């Protein structure tokens, strides 16, 4: 098999976007959801099919289901109706989407992606569209439109970068979410989204790791942390009466390089003596419901508060994750609150009251750690991270759905000595997505992921060449899972790490043995420096 | 094709305006009935659209944050781009509506030798802002036709706008800026391949219609020198709901009037409703305080969840074997070696 490297080139758009025909290709689609997963969640139209089939086996009344679904959502969401109505097609968003920049496919311009839906809205829900049809920008709803929707609504990572530039704040994520909800109604969904959701619903986390497996993973991590530091570690699971419930994305205990971040958490918690527990029931912070429907989001998210109530904790701490924090910050309290059985979060170490989490009672680990560092509660040796020249990738949702920008930077400045920002319009609220979020991070979709990851990688390449950056830090589980592949392709030689991995490296723990390796098991740079110094001395 | 059709549609309106000037009954209808019909359509249509948006709830708190959040006391928040208070939101909305804050961020992506380069560009922001402010100024200036005595601020605006005197009557800045900005916005739609691909009939129609209105207005003011007194007499009559149809109204004026009426009636059915919609955009008009204040969803319906008890039921044996605490001690535990608490 010959492998053709992807070449990014800009091509002027051709043809008429109102033609719904789309050529589905391997490499840029995700496979369909397996019937057993749909059944497990009670979702409609479970069947065996693939997007590449010509017959998608839609239910006979699919058109009515879609139009009724649209009508219902137009009444339930102001955002949806408003964003259908007010776009002026100024085109400011067009070259802001990483998928458009990487694929040159004009339907990946955020405005075009939304027009795929708007044209149907105009045709069936507006007076002018019903009378003038195509002249008013309307389109008939056909099976080809459904296939087109499937292709393009699963080619949006809901990263919201376009919305930052839109003069009306039109949020393509909102439209994509509606599009996916509608597709879900007729059983057009992808396995990469539905299977993790089904696992999370029944077992507790995306991979379906059962409680004893969960415990094994954490015990293993505790042993590893013990080996590095010479201290004993224990990870409390489902412990009643702890002060804090800690919820992390499950990738932290089964993925690499997430795993090193987990070691960082464990070391931090032990050093400050945090009274915490994790839960095998709420063993997933990530929420793939966000990628299928608001209802599914709520169903999966409900576990966190339920478990906090059962365990009788005072407040909740959340690990490094992107979309997880969109749900926790913007949806959780509304959907499953009020969390009146919890206390306003207070750091027992510094006494800081987290007023910004007064109602939700859930604090981001970067807020927590930045506060510790600011109050001088951690003894840090940033030289232990000297092998890294780091940059920081603002993960989309903490940046654009929260504004968590300075906390991770404050931590990074304290724990490593070489830190360089990427160019201004590729970080903070203008950060570029990894191209694999929102349930697109599957291998059958690799070509599109590489294309979508290109703008991010391009900025990394810039700092690599300018400053010799060799580490991209981030606070998102999907970033950690997918950026290594993308960087290997676009910018070989740059690795990916969570912020708390570097914290774990730099943290000088009370009573620890002299560390010889970092959390990755690689020799510590001080050793290397000493060795170099010694050999130089020999020659001198 | 969309551009051609919309140009034809605007030309048809122009021709209709001229035609009305030739036939007395049509002329009377145009100056007495059409303006009221058009503005009734604008008012009713505009209100209906806004009410329809406003009656849909905002179930979730979804602001797009464009700066540092308010969190720890020692980190300076971006109070406008990521507001956590109502005042912050008011400032953010003001910056958005008066200065087009988000459009100001615009940049242009270009690919060069396999590298992506994001270049600064302010033209879209500048032209859009110039067009909207010029249009507002022109609308306000038109108040002098409808009000007697003319309010002082209208006179002041007019003096300011016409302070650059070339010949008589003085040339208004706003006229020049409006036409220049509209022309740029139109040319951009033709020249930029991405925009050409996207643009619909309504995109060109709005631009052509505004240009035609500006053109007829400018012709009347600077070239055919319309009889201002007659126009004012007519406008005052309209405003007082005592429409009259002075014979001296020129055909060009009728044309201008018909185009303006067409625009007014068209607004509620078109993207031009963005003028009302921008105020309601939930990604901009909400404070980023969803963790400190609970946002209420009026239709927050119960969903099927997987309760802890059900979950423990399925995994109890395995949990006990692994030494994870359980709520209900199962049989396996009675034999009792694996359980710890």
Chain B contact for A142 (CB, 8 A cutoff): no
Query: What stretch of H or E contains A316?
Result: strand A315-318
Looking at the fold, whether B130 and B175 belong to one and the same domain comes out as yes
> Which residue in chain A has the smallest CA separation from B124?
A92
Structural domains present in chain A: 44-188 (1.10.1060), 198-506 (no CATH)
Report how far apart, in Å, the C-alpha atoms of B95 and of each of A424, B6, B92, B181 are: 21, 33, 5, 21
Neighbour order of strands in the sheet with A362-364:
A276-277, A244-247, A315-318, A362-364
Q: How far is CA A81 from the centre of its chain?
A: 27
DSSP string for residues in B264-281: HHHGGGSGGGHHHHGGG-
Do the beta carbons of residue A262 and residue A501 sit within 8 Å? no
Looking at the fold, whether B212 and B315 belong to one and the same domain comes out as no
Chain A contact for B306 (CB, 8 A cutoff): yes
Two structure tokens written together for A135:
């002249």
Residue A528 has pLDDT above 90, yes or no: no
- Residue appearing with tokens 């002041």: B156
Q: Which residues of chain A neighbour B296 with C-beta distances below 8 Å?
A: 334
Lowest mean pLDDT among A67-76, A199-208, A432-441, B324-333: B324-333
- Residue appearing with tokens 């259908």: A84
Helix (H, G, I), strand (E, B) or coil at A507: strand
Looking at the fold, whether B274 and B338 belong to one and the same domain comes out as no
The verdict on ipTM greater than 0.85 is yes
* Contact yes or no for A334 and B294 at CB 8 A: yes
Two structure tokens written together for B204:
């060109």
Which pLDDT score, from 0 to 100, does residue A12 have?
76
Rounded to an integer, the average pLDDT of B75-102 is 96
Reported as a single tens digit per residue, the pLDDT across A291-304 is: 999 999 999 999 99
Two structure tokens written together for A427:
């970080």
Which pLDDT score, from 0 to 100, does residue B341 have?
39
Residue A67 has pLDDT above 60, yes or no: yes
pLDDT over 70, % of chain A = 96
Distance from CA of B181 to the nearest CA of A (A): 14
DSSP string for residues in A468-502: ---EEEES-HHHHHHHHHHHHHHSTT-EEEEHHHH
A9-13, A16-20, A62-66: range with highest mean pLDDT: A62-66
Enter the DSSP assignment of A345.
P
Establish if B19 belongs to a structural domain.
yes
Do the beta carbons of residue A479 and residue A408 sit within 8 Å? no
DSSP β-bridge partners for residue A472: A391, A496
Residue A313 has pLDDT above 90, yes or no: yes
DSSP string for residues in A513-535: PPP-B-TTSPBPHHHHHHHHHHH
DSSP β-bridge partners for residue A390: A419, A471
Do the beta carbons of residue B145 and residue B232 sit within 8 Å? yes
Establish if B85 belongs to a structural domain.
no
Establish if B337 belongs to a structural domain.
yes
Chain B contact for A112 (CB, 8 A cutoff): yes
The overall average pLDDT reported for chain A is 93
Residues 6+ apart with CB under 8 A from B139: none
Dist. CA B26–CA A186, nearest whole Å: 54
Do the beta carbons of residue A332 and residue B294 sit within 8 Å? no
Q: Which residues of chain B neighbour A310 with C-beta distances below 8 Å?
A: 308, 327
- What is the tally of helices (H) and strands (E) in chain B? 16, 2
Which pLDDT score, from 0 to 100, does residue B167 have?
65
Dist. CA B141–CA B158, nearest whole Å: 6
Dist. CA A327–CA B335, nearest whole Å: 43
Looking at the fold, whether B209 and B340 belong to one and the same domain comes out as no
Domain limits at B326?
307-341
Lowest mean pLDDT among A18-32, A473-487, B280-294: A18-32
Looking at the fold, whether B229 and B149 belong to one and the same domain comes out as yes
Do the beta carbons of residue B31 and residue B257 sit within 8 Å? yes
Rounded to an integer, the average pLDDT of A202-222 is 96
Phi/psi for B31 (5° steps) reads -90, -15
Helix axis angle, A110-125 to A143-153, nearest 10°: 150
Nearest to A491 by CA among A518, A519, A466, A521: A466
Q: Which residues of chain A neighbour B269 with C-beta distances below 8 Å?
A: 126-128
Which pLDDT score, from 0 to 100, does residue A536 have?
37
Beta-carbon contacts below 8 Å between A and B: 313
Report whether the peptide linkage leading into residue A388 is cis, meaning its omega lies within 30 degrees of zero.
Answer: no
Establish if B291 belongs to a structural domain.
no
DSSP β-bridge partners for residue A190: A32
Looking at the fold, whether B120 and B208 belong to one and the same domain comes out as yes
Nearest to A240 by CA among A271, A286, A276, A192: A276
Which pLDDT score, from 0 to 100, does residue B111 have?
86
Rounded to an integer, the average pLDDT of B142-171 is 85
Chain B contact for A93 (CB, 8 A cutoff): no
DSSP β-bridge partners for residue A496: A472
Which pLDDT score, from 0 to 100, does residue A412 have?
97
Distance from CA of A87 to the nearest CA of B (A): 6
The overall average pLDDT reported for chain B is 91
Q: How confident is the model at residue B61 (pLDDT cuts 50, 70, 90)?
A: very high
CB-nearest to B273 from A86, A127, A367 is A86
Lowest mean pLDDT among A12-16, A322-326, B7-11, B166-170: B166-170
CB-nearest to A106 from B52, B110, B197 is B197
Q: Which residues of chain A neighbour B274 with C-beta distances below 8 Å?
A: 86-88, 168
Enter the DSSP assignment of A33.
P
Which pLDDT score, from 0 to 100, does residue B166 have?
64
Which pLDDT score, from 0 to 100, does residue A437 have?
93
Dist. CA A503–CA A482, nearest whole Å: 22
Rounded to an integer, the average pLDDT of A241-254 is 96
User: Looking at residue B129, which CATH number applies to its domain?
Assistant: 1.20.950.20
Selected residue of B12, B283, B284, B318 to mutate for chain A interface (largest A Cβ count, 10 A): B283
Looking at the fold, whether B177 and B109 belong to one and the same domain comes out as yes
Nearest to A337 by CA among A316, A323, A319: A316
Looking at the fold, whether B323 and B237 belong to one and the same domain comes out as no
Nearest to A30 by CA among A195, A150, A188, A190: A190
Report whether the peptide linkage leading into residue B169 is cis, meaning its omega lies within 30 degrees of zero.
Answer: yes
Helix (H, G, I), strand (E, B) or coil at A392: strand
Dist. CA A517–CA A522, nearest whole Å: 5
Establish if B184 belongs to a structural domain.
yes
Looking at the fold, whether B216 and B336 belong to one and the same domain comes out as no
> Which residue in chain A has the smallest CA separation from B121?
A92
How many structural domains is chain B composed of?
2
Looking at the fold, whether B242 and B327 belong to one and the same domain comes out as no
pLDDT over 90, % of chain B = 77
Q: Which residues of chain B neighbour A202 with C-beta distances below 8 Å?
A: 306, 311, 314
Looking at the fold, whether B178 and B275 belong to one and the same domain comes out as yes
Q: How confident is the model at residue B336 (pLDDT cuts 50, 70, 90)?
A: very low
Chain B contact for A302 (CB, 8 A cutoff): yes
Q: How confident is the model at residue A423 (pLDDT cuts 50, 70, 90)?
A: very high
Do the beta carbons of residue A169 and residue B235 sit within 8 Å? no
Q: Which residues of chain B neighbour A338 with C-beta distances below 8 Å?
A: 294
Lowest mean pLDDT among A6-15, B170-179, B281-290: A6-15
Looking at the fold, whether B25 and B151 belong to one and the same domain comes out as yes
Radius of gyration of chain B from Cα atoms? 30
Q: How confident is the model at residue A534 (pLDDT cuts 50, 70, 90)?
A: very low
Helix (H, G, I), strand (E, B) or coil at A317: strand
Establish if B286 belongs to a structural domain.
no
Dist. CA A240–CA A277, nearest whole Å: 8
Reported as a single tens digit per residue, the pLDDT across A96-147 is: 999 999 998 999 999 999 999 999 999 999 999 999 999 999 999 999 999 9
Rounded to an integer, the average pLDDT of B119-145 is 95
CB half-sphere exposure, A89, CA atoms < 13 A? 27
Establish if B241 belongs to a structural domain.
yes
Residue B16 has pLDDT above 90, yes or no: yes
Q: How confident is the model at residue A377 (pLDDT cuts 50, 70, 90)?
A: very high
Burial class (CB in 10 A: 0-12, 13-18, 19+), A43: buried
Global confidence as pTM: 0.93
Phi/psi for A3 (5° steps) reads -110, 120
Selected residue of A78, A128, A201 to mutate for chain B interface (largest B Cβ count, 10 A): A78
Reported as a single tens digit per residue, the pLDDT across A469-511 is: 999 999 999 999 999 999 999 999 999 999 999 999 999 999 9
Dist. CA A98–CA A105, nearest whole Å: 11
Nearest to A426 by CA among A96, A8, A93: A96
Establish if B301 belongs to a structural domain.
no
């Amino acid at each position: 098999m010959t492998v053709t490297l992807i070449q990014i080139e800009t091509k002027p758009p051709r043809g008429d976007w109102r033609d719904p025909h789309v050529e589905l290709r391997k490499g840029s689609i995700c496979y369909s959801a397996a019937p057993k997963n749909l059944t497990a969640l009670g979702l409609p139209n479970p069947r065996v099919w693939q997007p590449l089939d010509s017959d998608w086996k839609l239910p006979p009344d699919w058109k009515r289901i879609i139009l009724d679904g649209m009508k219902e959502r137009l009444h339930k969401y102001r955002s949806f109706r408003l964003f259908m109505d007010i776009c002026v097609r100024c085109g400011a968003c067009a070259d802001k989407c990483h998928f458009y920049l990487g694929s040159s496919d004009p339907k990946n311009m955020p405005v075009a992606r939304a027009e795929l839906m708007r044209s149907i809205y105009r045709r069936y829900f507006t007076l002018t569209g019903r009378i003038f049809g195509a002249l008013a920008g309307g389109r008939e709803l056909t099976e080809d439109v459904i296939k087109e929707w499937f292709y393009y609504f699963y080619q949006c990572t809901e990263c919201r970068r376009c919305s930052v530039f839109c003069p009306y704040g039109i949020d393509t994520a909102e439209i994509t979410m509606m599009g996916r909800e509608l597709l879900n109604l007729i059983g057009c969904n992808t396995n990469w989204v539905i299977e993790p959701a089904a696992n999370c619903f029944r077992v507790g986390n995306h991979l379906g790791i059962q409680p004893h497996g969960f415990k094994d993973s954490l015990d293993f991590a505790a042993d590893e942390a013990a080996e590095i530091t010479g201290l004993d570690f224990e990870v409390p699971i489902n412990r009643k009466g702890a002060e804090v419930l800690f919820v992390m994305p499950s990738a932290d205990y089964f993925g690499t390089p997430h795993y090193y971040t987990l070691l960082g958490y464990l070391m931090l918690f032990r050093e400050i003596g945090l009274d915490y527990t994790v839960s095998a029931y709420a063993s997933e912070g990530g929420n793939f419901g966000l990628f299928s429907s608001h209802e599914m989001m709520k169903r999966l998210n409900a576990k966190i508060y339920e478990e906090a109530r059962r365990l009788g904790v005072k407040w909740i701490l959340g690990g490094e994750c992107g979309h997880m924090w969109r749900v926790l910050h913007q949806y959780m309290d509304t959907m499953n609150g009020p969390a009146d059985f919890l206390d306003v979060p207070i750091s027992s170490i510094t006494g800081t009251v987290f007023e910004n989490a007064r109602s939700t009672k859930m604090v981001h680990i970067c807020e927590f750690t930045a506060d510790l560092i600011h109050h001088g509660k951690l003894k840090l040796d940033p030289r232990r991270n000297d092998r890294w020249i780091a940059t920081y990738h603002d993960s989309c949702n903490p940046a654009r759905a929260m504004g968590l920008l300075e906390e991770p930077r404050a931590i990074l400045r304290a724990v490593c000595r070489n830190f360089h920002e990427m160019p201004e319009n590729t970080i903070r609220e203008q950060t570029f997505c990894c191209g694999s979020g929102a349930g697109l991070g599957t291998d059958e979709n690799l070509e599109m992921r590489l294309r979508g990851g290109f703008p991010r990688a391009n900025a990394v390449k810039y700092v690599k060449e300018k400053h010799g950056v060799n580490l991209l830090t981030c606070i998102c589980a999907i970033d950690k899972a997918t950026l290594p592949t993308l960087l290997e392709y676009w910018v070989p030689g740059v690795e990916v790490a969570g912020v708390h991995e570097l914290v774990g490296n730099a943290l000088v723990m009370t009573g620890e043995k002299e560390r010889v390796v970092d959390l990755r098991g690689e020799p510590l740079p001080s050793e290397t420096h000493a060795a170099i110094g010694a050999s130089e001395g020999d020659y001198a | 094709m969309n551009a051609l059709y919309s140009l034809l549609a605007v030309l048809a309106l122009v021709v209709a305006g001229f035609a009305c000037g030739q036939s007395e009954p049509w002329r009377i209808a145009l100056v007495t009935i059409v303006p009221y019909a058009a503005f009734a359509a604008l008012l009713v249509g505009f209100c209906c659209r806004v009410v329809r948006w406003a009656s849909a709830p905002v179930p979730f708190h979804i602001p797009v944050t464009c700066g540092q959040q308010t969190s720890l006391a020692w980190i300076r928040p971006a109070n406008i781009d990521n507001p956590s208070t109502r005042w912050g939101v008011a400032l953010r909305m003001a910056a958005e509506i008066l200065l087009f804050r988000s459009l100001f961020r615009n940049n242009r992506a270009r690919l060069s030798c396999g590298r992506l380069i994001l270049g600064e560009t302010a033209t879209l922001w500048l032209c859009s802002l110039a067009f909207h402010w010029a249009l507002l100024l022109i609308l306000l200036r038109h108040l002098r036709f409808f009000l007697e005595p003319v309010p002082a601020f209208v006179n002041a605006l007019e003096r300011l706008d016409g302070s650059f005197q070339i010949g008589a009557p003085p040339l208004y800045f706003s006229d020049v800026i409006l036409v220049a900005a509209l022309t740029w916005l139109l040319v951009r739609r033709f020249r930029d391949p991405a925009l050409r691909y996207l643009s619909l009939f309504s995109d060109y129609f709005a631009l052509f219609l505004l240009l035609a209105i500006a053109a007829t207005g400018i012709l009347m003011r600077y070239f055919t020198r319309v009889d201002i007194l007659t126009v004012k007499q007519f406008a005052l009559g309209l405003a007082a709901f005592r429409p009259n149809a002075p014979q001296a109204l020129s055909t060009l004026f009728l044309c201008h009037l018909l185009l303006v009426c067409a625009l007014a009636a068209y607004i509620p059915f078109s993207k031009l409703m963005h003028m009302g919609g921008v105020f309601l955009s939930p990604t901009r008009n909400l404070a980023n305080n969803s963790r400190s204040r609970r946002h209420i969803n009026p239709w927050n319906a119960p969903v099927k969840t997987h309760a802890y008890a059900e979950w423990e039921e399925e995994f109890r044996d395995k949990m006990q074997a692994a030494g994870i605490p359980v709520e209900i001690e199962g049989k396996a535990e009675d034999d009792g070696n694996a359980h710890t608490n």
